[in-house]
Every structure is written in structure tokens, then in C-alpha cells.
């Protein structure tokens, strides 16, 4: 750390040759860095590993479901597989995914700052994540956990014989990493903006991350205390949620979903921010309805706090509460639809080009729309009673989480890859991968809508033979999807060494991050930039061409 | 977290433009952190509210097993510690080294008295079989609700005590820094922020005391 600071603080012309990647070498220079860009890379590495772990569980689930009989794994093992798939993907991949990698890398650059407000807290949050991840991995190797990722009581506190305590503790710990990241972004957006960078000149990615951070700050502590109470009940056998001891298990569900529904928006809002950046750049067009997109992000964050009860329609919640939660859940569709309409309106009369990030944008818009509209099915109480705990629900949230968030994440990685690494990725392979991901995704999850509608329940390793055709299609799609995820891992790593060098602004894009060299120097800006124009002036003549 | 590079001079870390921006940023960060703390304790208050509505009689019964005189004494101790904390912050702002040290030491002392009394109370509950779990004894038809009351009592006061312990550790670090003359009218942010945290933890107790000790019917 000392050496890296000494190097970076040396004044004079030599500084120009240094970027954040070559400013210092060695494992210590990474593990003790406080540079937001290096911390973003640290996150990128570990969440990619966690994505692979979650992917292995998904693979085994799909293989088991290839045949109606439970022939690959037994029921108990299957319970552990879907539980650990959920926990790893939700807590260790999706929640940190875009904020901790692209957000960490881009927020200071986009607001014209040399770093986040609290660089050491940023590093601390990575270490907290790692501690949580170690507990999670320990729990996996110690035999796994079978409660479902929702840890419902009283099964989790008294009946389950699996590694509940280390797993819940892992989720508890990793929550603090999320809280600190959100806090850092909020304070940075308020206090670190460059001169002239008013709130309505901020890139929409910053707005989306800001809204996300609000949720991280306000919802995650509630999950933390809920998990503490769960641990107390399981560890010390004191009654809190267990009905045998007078407790109310539905209270656990309320408290859990008070976090975990807003957490859905922690996962998807950053993706929407990424899409807003890319759709305007590759349409060479001003974003349509900038302020509407700003406020729809905040609107989703606020309404997202008021809809958790739609997870409890069949849990013994009062029917009047259910009606209210149903109505409020419909309201989320309004800001979501505003975004979709604004993105499509941005395409209109734009000069649309078909580079890889744009393919992900178009994929996102289509898949998110399907995921969102099927959400309305589930918000309707009567229909939800039929669809609860079926594959319809699985398909719905995978359209949002995978079709939405991961498409945006991959698109964003491609879009900012030249900035992050200073190298261009191979466009041909990237386009092929984007198409494979889109096709594989739909083949995996569209049949699950049909299965769920026909009544196939989730969380069983066996099913009646009449569901086999659709399950085989789904498993086939999953293998295509796996290829689609492998390809970027290979060619992106290849490009770090062999890709052509990228200029500062290979897309001719607006935004402060494109005005610094690729890769940026350690402190980002030699001089504090002064912002004088709106964020997406793509209608200026010099911006009309890519 | 205090910064090694902050000497007496009002200099600022690399990401800021000025010491003033740094101070404002640190303040906002602390307030934002306290907001997350409100939500954290909010979960406990929610659980308390729900169970109080489910078992109103049991909660009243169980509350009689808490000694409100001890509770009131501890409340007085904690409010006094908030005063000494405020005086420590003031001393830091005018850069009076000796007073910072004295008032921080007093705050730590009062905080420790609070925890000591709390430990005595916990011990009493243990002796009288009022700790939830297999050894819980409560001769009353409302035993189940009373056990929930004590589960929440230990969870809420326990979480509060954990925050007190973290606060005392923080203040002890500041005490050493203050004794070494690290704070001045130009630079005293860590004392100010620790003060905010300390007052927050006090306020939590101001809510816990009536909820657990005082709402007891007759």
C-alpha cells in the first residue's frame, strides 16, 4: 500500500504513463489497494467464481430434471442443490454483481471524482464479502443446507439437520458488505460530484445505482436483524418465530421479504442503469425522457418497499392485506413500463448500430418485458393461488434476474471492457455469444412458464412423465446457455493480452469516464473536470457517428 | 475510521478537494450509517410490537419481573454519559486536550457502569429461571408469551449492549489519540462522529426502557 501510494503521488510527467493497472505490481498491491477500480476488479474475480459455483448447482438441478424419475440425486440432495443455487446466486452473485463491479469502477469516474468518498470502507466491504463467502463455501463443504434460500422458520430453526448456522451467518455477514457499498455510493453521489455536474446532468447509471444504494441501506439491516433472531432461535433454542414456543412464523416471512422483495430491485435496477447508458450510445440519439427515467428508478425503489406481502398470499396473511399488497404490486409496473417505453422511444429515429452491447440491450428489453408482464400474473391474488410454488414463478424471476440482470451485466462488461482493461474484445465472437445467450436463455426458461401453468411444482426432484418433453427442452437450453456464458469468459480473458489497444473513447460516447485514458490513471482525473452540458448530447454533429 | 495521515494540520485525503468537503462527507456518511442502524433496531421493535399485540397480558406479567428502579438508574447513567460525550466533543472543537481526555474517560466509565448493571440484571434473570430456553420457569398461564417477552428482552438489550461495547472500544481509541494531541479545532471529526454514534445508542435505550420496564399495567 505504501509503495502504491508513493508511486502514484509522485508528481511530474512520469505519471502520465501510469494507469491503475500498471501503477504497481504484486499480490499485495491488489489486496491492500484502496483504488475503487482495483477493488472493482477484486469483486469481478470473486463474483465470477461464485457465479460458476452457483452454475454448477444449476447444472445438477437441470440434469436431475432431465428424466421424471429421481435417478441422479436423492430428494435430500436435491433440496440442498436448489437451496445452495439460490443462496450463492442471490447473496453472492446477483446482489453485488453490477454495483460492486461496474458501479465501483464507474461511479467515481462518472461523477468526476478521484475515488469514492470512503476508499478504505470500500476495501473493507470487499473483505467483509470475502469473510461471508468463506462461511458460505465452508457450509457447502460441510454438507450444505436444505431450507431453500428463504430460510423459512420453523423448518430452519428446529427441523433441518443441515448447515443452517454457517449459511445464515454467511448471508448475515455479506449483507454488511452490501450496506457499506450502498452507503459509499450514496455519500459519493451527494458530496463528490464535479463542478457543474448537477443532479439532472448525472448519467442514468448513477441515478440507478443511487436508487439501488438507498434500498441496500434501508432494507439490508432488516434482513440482518431477522437472521440474527433466526440464529438465536436455532442456536440457543429460545422462542421467537417457532409456533411451538408461541412465536409467529409468518412474522419471519414478513421480515424476510421486507428485505428480500426490495432486494429484487437491488438486483435489477443497476441493470436498468446499464441499459440506459448503452441504448442511447448505440442509437446515437438523446435518451428519451431523461427525467422520467431518473424518477422511475426512485419510484421503483420506493414502491419496492411496499409490496413484500405478495410473497405471503398463501401464508395465512389477512385477505385485506393481500388485496392491498396486490394493488401496490401492480403499481411497480408503472415505473418499469416507463423505462421500457423510454428505451424503445430512444431507438426511434436513432442511428441504431448492432454492436454487442446493443444486442444485449435488445435482449434485455424483450426478456425484461416478458418477466415484468408475468409478474402481473403473480400479483393477481386469485391467479397466484394457482401459480404459487410452481415453475411459473421460477420462470418469471429468472426472466428478471437472468434475462434482465445478467444480460445487462454482460452487456455492460462488454461496453466498458475497453475502459477497464484498455483492450478491445473480439466483436465477432462477442456477437455470437450474445445470440447464444439469448437463445439458450429462452429455451431454458420459456418451457418453465408452460410447466408451471400446467401445475408442475418447484423444489421436487421427480415429476409426472407428461412433463418430460418440456423439461428436456429446458435442460437442452441450459446447456446452450452454459456455452454462451463460457465464451465471454474465454475471449474476454484472451483480449486482455491479445486484444487491440483501445482508445480513450472507442464508442465516441458521452460521459466523463470516456474522457480519461483507457485504462484510467490511479486518481482518474489530472484536473477536476467541469461539466457544462446535459449527459446524452448524442444529437450533436460530432456525436452522431460511432 | 481515523486516518493515519491526519495530523493537527487540516489536510485532507486524496479524493477530496478541501478539508471542508472531507468533513461534510464524513458527517453525511455517519448519518447514513445511523439510518441503517435505525432499520436494524427497527426489526426488533417490529417483532416486539407484533408479540405485544398477540400476548398483551403475558407481556404485562413478564414486565413485572424487571426492576424499573435499576432500569431508571441505568437510564440516568446513560443520559449522563451522553452529556459527558457532548462535553468531549465541545472540548475537541476548542482543542482543549486535557478536557477531551477527561470527558472521554468519564463517558467510557459511565458506559461501563451501565454494562455492569446490565450484567447484574442478566445474572438475576438467570438465577430466577427467566432466561428463555429449557430452564425457563414461569408459574403462570401466560408462560409462553412471557418467554417470548424475555426472548425479546435479551435480544433487544443484548443488541444494545453490543453497540455499547463497540462504542466503548471506539472511545478508548479516541482517548489514546486525544492524549497524543491528535485533535484540534481544525481537525476533530472522529470525536464528533463517535459522539453521534454514542447519542444514537443512548436514544435506542430511551425507547427500550419504557417498552420493556415501564408498560406494565398497574
Q: Which of A267, A385, A371 has its CA nearest to residue A326?
A: A385
Q: Which fold has domain B19-214?
A: 1.20.120
Share of chain B above pLDDT 70, in %: 95
Cα-Cα-Cα-Cα dihedral of A490, A491, A496, A500, to 10°? Answer: 170
Give pLDDT tens digits along chain A (546 positions): 334 444 444 444 344 468 999 988 999 999 999 999 999 999 999 999 999 999 999 999 999 999 999 999 999 999 999 999 999 999 999 999 999 999 999 999 999 999 999 999 999 999 999 999 999 999 999 999 999 999 999 999 999 999 999 999 999 999 999 999 999 999 999 999 999 999 999 999 999 999 999 999 999 999 999 999 999 999 998 889 999 888 999 999 999 999 999 999 999 999 999 999 999 999 999 999 999 999 999 999 999 999 999 999 999 899 999 999 999 999 999 999 999 999 999 999 899 999 999 999 999 999 999 999 999 999 999 999 999 999 999 999 999 999 999 999 999 999 999 999 999 999 999 999 999 999 999 999 999 999 999 999 999 999 999 999 999 999 999 999 999 999 999 999 999 999 999 999 999 999 999 999 999 999 999 899 999 988 999 988 877 776
Distance from CA of B143 to the nearest CA of A (A): 9
Nearest chain B residue (CA) to A236: B133
Nearest chain B residue (CA) to A232: B155
Sequence-separated (6 or more) residues with CB below 8 Å from residue B14: A9, A114, A115, A523
- CA separation for the pair A334, A78 (Å, rounded): 38
Nearest chain A residue (CA) to B47: A251
Whether residues A221 and B42 touch (CB distance < 8 A) is answered with yes
Total domains present in chain A: 1
Which residue in the block uniquely carries the three cell numbers 391467479? Answer: A383
Interface test with A, best of B32, B129, B153 (most A CBs within 10 A): B32
Per-domain residue ranges for chain B?
A: 19-214
Q: Is A12 domain-assigned?
A: no
Whether residues B15 and A225 touch (CB distance < 8 A) is answered with no
Give B32's contacts in chain A (Cβ within 8 Å): 183, 186-187, 217
* Span B200-213, average pLDDT: 97
CATH of residue A312's domain is 1.20.210.10
What pTM did the predictor assign? Answer: 0.94
Hey, which residues does A423 pair with through a beta bridge? A501
Chain B, window 40-59: residues with a beta carbon less than 8 angstroms from a chain A beta carbon = 40-44, 46-47, 50-51, 54-55
* pLDDT score of B8 more than 50: no
Alpha helices in A312-467, H assignment, sequence order: 319-347, 356-379, 381-387, 391-400, 407-421, 427-454
Predicted confidence at residue A515, as pLDDT, reads 94
Q: Is A421 domain-assigned?
A: yes
Q: Which of B98, B118, B107 has its CA nearest to residue B160?
A: B118
Predicted confidence at residue B150, as pLDDT, reads 95
Q: Are B171 and B199 in contact (CB under 8 A)?
A: no
Query: Does the N-terminal peptide bond of residue A50 adopt cis geometry, omega within 30 degrees of 0?
Result: no
Nearest chain B residue (CA) to A246: B144
Closest Cβ opposite residue A238 in set B41, B55, B133: B133
Whether residues B41 and A115 touch (CB distance < 8 A) is answered with no
Predicted confidence at residue A541, as pLDDT, reads 81
Predicted confidence at residue A11, as pLDDT, reads 44
Q: Is A1 domain-assigned?
A: no
Q: Is A2 domain-assigned?
A: no
Give B147's contacts in chain A (Cβ within 8 Å): 238-239, 245-246
Point out the least confidently predicted range of A5-9, A169-173, B32-36, B175-179.
A5-9
Give counts: helices (H), strands (E), chain B: 6, 0
Interface test with B, best of A237, A247, A248, A305 (most B CBs within 10 A): A247
Q: Are A345 and A371 in contact (CB under 8 A)?
A: no
- CA separation for the pair A181, A128 (Å, rounded): 11
Whether residues B32 and A183 touch (CB distance < 8 A) is answered with yes
Domain span at residue A491 reads 33-543
Q: Is A343 domain-assigned?
A: yes
Distance from CA of A314 to the nearest CA of B (A): 20
Predicted confidence at residue A9, as pLDDT, reads 43
Predicted confidence at residue B30, as pLDDT, reads 98
pLDDT-derived band at B218, boundaries 50, 70, 90: low
Sequence-separated (6 or more) residues with CB below 8 Å from residue B190: B2, B174, B177, B183
Q: Is A434 domain-assigned?
A: yes
Question: DSSP character for A163?
Answer: S
Predicted confidence at residue A286, as pLDDT, reads 93
- CA separation for the pair A511, A537 (Å, rounded): 10
- CA separation for the pair A523, A516 (Å, rounded): 10
- CA separation for the pair B120, A444 (Å, rounded): 60
Q: Is B130 on the interface with A (CB under 8 A)?
A: no
Grid coordinates representing B82 are 451522553
Q: Is B181 on the interface with A (CB under 8 A)?
A: no
Predicted confidence at residue B11, as pLDDT, reads 77
* Residue A390 φ then ψ, to 5°: -110, 175
Q: Is B17 on the interface with A (CB under 8 A)?
A: yes
Amino acid at each position: 500500500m505504501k509503495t502504491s501510494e508513493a508511486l502514484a503521488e509522485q508528481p511530474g510527467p512520469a505519471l502520465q504513463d501510469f494507469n491503475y493497472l500498471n501503477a504497481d505490481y504484486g499480490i499485495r498491491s491488489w489486496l491492500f489497494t484502496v483504488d475503487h477500480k482495483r477493488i472493482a476488479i477484486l469483486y469481478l474475480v470473486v463474483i465470477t467464481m461464485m457465479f460458476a459455483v452457483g452454475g454448477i448447482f444449476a447444472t445438477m438441478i437441470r440434469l436431475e430434471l432431465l428424466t421424471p424419475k429421481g435417478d441422479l440425486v436423492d430428494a435430500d440432495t436435491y433440496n440442498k442443490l436448489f437451496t445452495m443455487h439460490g443462496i450463492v446466486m442471490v447473496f453472492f452473485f446477483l446482489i453485488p454483481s453490477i454495483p460492486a463491479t461496474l458501479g465501483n469502477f464507474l461511479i467515481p469516474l462518472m461523477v468526476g471524482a478521484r475515488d469514492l468518498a470512503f476508499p478504505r470502507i470500500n476495501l473493507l466491504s470487499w473483505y467483509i464479502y470475502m469473510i461471508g463467502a468463506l462461511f458460505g463455501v465452508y457450509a457447502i463443504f460441510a454438507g450444505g443446507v436444505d431450507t431453500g434460500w428463504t430460510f423459512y422458520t420453523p423448518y430452519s430453526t428446529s427441523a433441518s439437520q443441515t448447515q443452517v448456522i454457517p449459511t445464515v451467518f454467511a448471508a448475515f455477514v455479506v449483507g454488511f458488505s452490501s450496506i457499506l457499498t450502498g452507503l459509499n455510493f450514496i455519500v459519493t453521489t451527494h458530496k463528490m460530484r464535479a463542478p457543474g455536474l448537477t443532479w439532472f446532468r448525472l448519467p442514468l447509471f448513477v441515478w440507478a445505482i443511487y436508487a439501488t444504494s438507498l434500498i441496500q441501506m434501508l432494507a439490508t439491516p432488516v434482513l440482518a436483524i431477522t437472521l440474527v433472531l433466526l440464529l438465536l432461535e436455532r442456536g440457543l433454542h429460545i422462542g421467537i418465530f417457532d409456533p411451538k414456543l408461541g412465536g409467529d412464523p409468518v412474522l419471519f416471512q414478513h421480515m424476510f421479504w421486507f428485505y428480500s422483495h426490495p432486494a429484487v430491485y437491488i438486483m435489477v435496477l443497476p441493470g436498468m442503469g446499464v441499459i440506459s447508458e448503452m441504448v442511447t450510445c448505440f442509437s446515437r440519439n438523446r435518451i428519451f425522457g431523461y427525467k422520467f427515467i431518473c424518477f422511475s428508478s426512485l419510484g421503483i425503489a420506493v414502491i419496492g418497499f411496499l409490496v413484500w406481502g405478495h410473497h405471503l398470499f398463501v401464508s395465512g396473511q389477512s385477505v385485506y392485506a393481500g388485496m392491498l399488497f396486490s394493488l401496490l404490486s401492480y403499481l411497480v409496473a408503472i415505473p418499469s413500463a416507463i423505462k421500457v417505453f423510454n428505451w424503445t422511444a430512444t431507438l426511434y429515429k436513432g442511428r441504431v448500430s448492432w454492436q454487442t452491447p446493443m444486442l444485449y440491450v435488445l435482449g434485455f428489453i424483450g426478456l425484461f418485458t416478458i418477466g415484468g408482464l408475468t409478474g402481473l400474473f403473480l400479483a393477481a391474488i386469485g391467479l397466484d393461488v394457482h401459480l404459487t410454488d410452481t415453475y411459473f414463478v421460477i420462470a418469471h424471476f429468472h426472466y428478471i434476474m437472468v434475462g434482465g440482470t445478467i444480460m445487462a451485466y454482460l452487456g455492460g462488461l462488454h461496453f466498458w471492457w475497453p475502459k477497464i482493461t484498455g483492450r478491445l474484445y473480439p466483436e465477432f465472437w462477442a456477437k455470437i455469444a450474445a445470440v447464444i445467450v439469448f437463445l439458450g436463455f429462452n429455451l431454458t426458461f420459456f418451457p418453465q412458464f408452460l410447466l408451471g401453468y400446467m401445475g408442475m411444482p418447484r423444489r421436487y426432484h421427480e415429476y409426472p412423465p407428461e412433463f418430460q418433453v418440456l423439461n428436456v427442452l429446458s435442460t437442452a437450453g441450459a446447456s446452450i446457455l452454459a456455452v454462451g456464458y463460457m465464451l465471454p469468459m474465454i475471449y474476454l480473458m484472451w483480449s486482455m493480452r491479445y486484444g487491440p489497444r483501445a482508445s480513450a473513447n472507442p464508442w465516441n460516447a458521452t460521459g466523463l469516464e470516456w474522457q480519461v485514458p483507457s485504462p484510467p490513471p490511479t486518481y482518474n482525473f489530472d484536473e477536476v473536470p467541469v461539466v457544462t452540458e446535459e449527459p446524452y448530447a448524442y444529437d450533436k454533429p460530432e456525436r452522431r457517428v460511432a | 475510521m481515523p486516518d493515519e495521515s491526519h495530523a493537527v494540520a487540516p489536510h485532507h485525503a486524496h479524493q477530496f478537494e478541501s478539508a471542508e468537503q472531507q468533513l461534510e462527507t464524513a458527517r453525511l456518511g455517519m448519518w447514513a450509517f445511523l439510518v441503517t442502524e435505525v432499520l436494524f433496531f427497527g426489526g426488533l421493535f417490529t417483532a416486539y410490537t407484533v408479540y405485544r399485540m398477540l400476548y398483551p397480558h403475558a407481556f404485562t406479567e413478564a414486565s413485572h419481573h424487571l426492576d424499573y428502579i435499576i432500569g431508571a438508574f441505568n437510564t440516568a447513567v446513560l443520559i449522563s454519559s451522553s452529556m459527558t460525550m457532548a462535553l468531549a466533543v465541545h472540548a475537541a472543537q476548542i482543542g482543549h486536550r486535557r478536557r477531551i481526555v477527561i470527558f472521554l474517560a468519564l463517558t467510557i466509565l459511565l458506559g461501563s457502569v451501565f454494562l455492569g448493571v446490565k450484567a447484574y440484571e442478566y445474572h438475576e434473570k438467570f438465577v430466577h429461571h427467566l432466561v428463555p430456553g429449557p430452564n425457563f420457569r414461569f408459574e403462570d398461564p401466560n408462560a409462553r408469551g412471557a418467554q417470548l417477552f424475555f426472548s425479546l428482552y435479551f435480544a433487544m438489550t443484548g443488541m444494545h449492549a453490543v453497540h455499547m461495547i463497540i462504542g466503548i472500544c471506539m472511545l478508548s481509541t479516541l482517548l489514546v489519540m486525544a492524549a497524543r494531541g491528535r485533535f484540534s479545532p481544525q481537525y476533530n471529526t472522529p470525536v464528533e462522529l463517535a459522539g453521534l454514534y454514542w447519542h444514537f445508542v443512548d436514544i435506542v435505550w430511551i425507547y427500550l426502557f419504557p417498552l420493556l420496564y415501564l408498560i406494565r399495567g398497574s
